[in-house]
Structure 1
Amino acid sequence: MTATPLNPAAPGRVVVYYQTNRVDGALVSPVELARRCRELTAIIVGAIHVNAEPGDITLNDDPADHPDNQAMWAELAAVQEQGVAVIGMLGGAAMGSFERLEPATFGTYYPPLRELIGTYRLDGIDLDVEEDMSVEGARHLVDALRADFGPDFIITLAPVATALSGGGNLSGFDYEELWATHGGQIDWMNTQFYCGWGVLDSTAEYDAIISRGVFPAAKVVAGTSTHPMHGKGFVEPAVLNKTVASLAAKYPDFGGMSSWEYFNSEPGGTAAPWEWAQAMGAAMEQGRTR
């Protein structure tokens, strides 16, 4: 960790998931994103997988230290120097990482993950649990990360939207049950309003989460699909901007916005993917000044 991130605890975050890091062989530059979007809070680089062979940790399909990743890590370090947090995304659609991090096998599989976080000086970790995990396992993992990396280390979750509003869930455990004991240890949640689990064509589904009175708006970052190819839930930019402005106006402590994923984000597409982050910052500012 090379710099103090830009107020990750403050509301109104702009968070970008960064998984596809090359297009036609060229690096998708995180430095360019940070340069063009002063409101950027965090880049979440993914996806980290804890594989079946103990010690086998990969970033997508390759070891994190694969030569093809060297330019990416160098740019992410430069982004940190600008005060933007670089967070590692753990898990996602590939199964097995969180099963292996249950208490029974934690001692075997956690140390290499801890080493990777330290080696690449990550500012935090995003726990994208899309498989069955016990609430005890989730608590144990959060406790270990906090003990190993301290109070300034960023720990985020990535629940589907319905998991916070009393509906369906991908993670096995109950987020309200986890929150009751560990909410103070979670910096925010990159909540998935896409792929059939929610949509941000209005404020209604975000309102449904806040109205339960469990999760504060400051901790609920609204996540959206940035391109139709990323699955159900893509919202046309003009409509999304209106929703975001309304959320910022309705909730003074609105947690902010996150995107899945960066490289072809509309409205700029692959030529100017940073325009999504710029638009989110502008929409939140518009809402706050209503």
Structure 2
Amino acid sequence: MPSASASATTLPRIVLYHQTIHDPDGKFISVLPLITQPGVSVTHLIVAAIHINEDPDGLTLNDHPPSDPRYASLWAELRIAQASGISVIGMLGGAAKGSYTRLDQDQTTFDLYYAPVYDLIRARGLNGFDLDIEEEMSLGGVIRLIDRLRADFGPDFIITLAPVAAALLDSRRNLSGFDYEALEVMRGKQIAWYNAQFYCGWGDASNPVMYEMCVARGWVPEKVVVGVVTTPENGHGYVPLELLGLNLAALRRRFPTFGGVMGWEYFNGLPGGKGRPWEWAQRMTKVLRTVEADGQPEPESTPKMHSTNEVDPDSDGGKQAQVPEQFEYWSDDSYEDN
């Protein structure tokens, strides 16, 4: 198990999810340009989406077992990314339901379904795990999972969560079932940061206001990463890069330990699209890795691992956000079905 690289503590983070691994014609989508192209400084790559299925031994990465030969190039490139200083994280869950329902059972059932997750992390040398919980799960259930990951993989293992941004402001407006403020109070020391989804009606990245509200609520800036869709093709709420850049730069100026930006997802990000998907990361690097007027780089900060915010539920009322549509990525079988 390689330890997390220095990028685990680099702020602001530049995080990219990588779910669509092959295009509709079956061509492998390489992440090596994130290393070889100039002006790219990605800190974390999150491989998605890992699913726990009814068969405890039937763990899948999207539609196939992680050991399937079609993923051989993926795992090889991710090792290169790690050697280049990028932390590689596995994402569990997402829009497809069932993974967390199976883990949120009695201890025997939990152990049964957790075992292949443990094996995958060990086999692929992942630096961390991202819990994208978009189904009902109990607070006790997510705490048990976090505790087990920490016990099994040690203090350097990166544990993140991916709530919708609204869940950081109101426990009733989330997809996970539990209160994120309560989780932060109880296990904040074990959670590196939150990849908050500021899109699909659950957040707004077109201006800094919602992020500022999260900080005013008590969330420390280094633990909240602004999650955006990298193209309108990936979901509602896309913010044009020029406007997004202005807002991220404003947040970085206001909060010296600003947590960074997350993009969903890599393969078709603008402005380069499918032909040059790394250009989204280039743009984010230019915004978040600028040099101050005196010619000296701004100092990097080490994120605090917890905050001291209290549970403070809002009063009843308010409009419910619309549940986002399931994102239809190009699966590895899509080209075979057409």
Which category describes the TM-score, using the shorter chain as reference length?
Answer: over 0.9
Deviation at 1:11, TM superposition (A): 2.1
The residue that corresponds to 1:239 in the other structure is: 243
Q: Contact between 2:4 and 2:156, CA under 8 Å: does it hold in 1?
A: no
Deviations 1:23-66 (A, max 9, x none): 23222111211222542111000100000112210000101011
1:11–1:254 contact (8 Å) kept in structure 2: yes
Q: SS at the partner of 2:50?
A: strand
1:270 matched to 2:271? The reply is: no
Report if aligned partners of 1:165, 1:212 keep a CA contact under 8 Å in 2.
yes
Deviation at 1:203, TM superposition (A): 0.4
Aligned to 1:29: 30
Alignment of 1:60-209 (within 5 A): 60-104=62-106, 105-166=109-170, 168-209=173-214
User: Which amino acid counterpart does residue 234 of structure 1 have in structure 2?
Assistant: Y
For residues 81-133 of structure 1, the C-alpha deviation after alignment (integer angstroms, 9 at most, x for no partner) is 11111100000000010011114121111011100111111111000000000
Q: Contact conserved, 1:188 with 1:218, CA < 8 A, in 2?
A: yes
**Aligned mates of 2:84, 2:110 — CA distance in 1:** 35
1:11 aligned residue: 11
The answer to whether the Cα contact below 8 Å between 2:7 and 2:87 also exists between their aligned partners in 1 is no
Matches of 1:55 and 1:21 in 2, distance apart?
22
Answer with 3-12 or 165-174: which moved more: 3-12
Query: Shift in Å at residue 68 of structure 1?
Result: 0.8
AA partner of residue 75 (structure 1): E
Letter in 1 for 2:237: G
Deviations 1:208-259 (A, max 9, x none): 111101x210010110001111111101111111111111111100000100
For 1:8, the aligned partner's letter is A
Distance 1:279 1:58 in 2: 32
Question: Whole-Å Cα distance in 1 between the matches of residues 242 and 179 of structure 2?
Answer: 34
1:69 maps to a residue whose letter is Y
Whose helix proportion is higher, 1 or 2? 1
Q: Which moved more, 1:100-109 or 1:257-266?
A: 100-109
Alignment-derived partner of residue 279 in structure 1: 283
Count of residues in correspondence between the two structures: 289
Alpha-carbon deviation of 1:10?
Answer: 3.0
* Alpha carbons 1:12, 1:256 under 8 Å: kept: yes
The structure with the largest strand share of the pair is: 1
CA distance in 2, matches of 1:178, 1:3: 25
2:4·2:157 contact (CA, 8 Å) conserved in 1? no
Query: Contact (CA 8 Å) 1:225, 1:231: kept in 2 or not?
Result: yes
Equivalent position SS for 1:211: helix
| Helix, strand or coil at the partner of 2:194 | strand
The answer to whether the Cα contact below 8 Å between 1:248 and 1:288 also exists between their aligned partners in 2 is no
Q: What SS does the aligned partner of 1:27 have?
A: coil
TM-score (norm 2): 0.82
Higher RCO by CA contacts (8 Å cutoff, separation 6 or greater): 2
Structure 2: tracts of 5 or more residues without a match: 299-338
In structure 2, the CA distance between the partners of 1:38 and 1:226, relative to structure 1 (3 Å rule), is closer
Give secondary structure in 2 for the equivalent of 1:151. Answer: coil
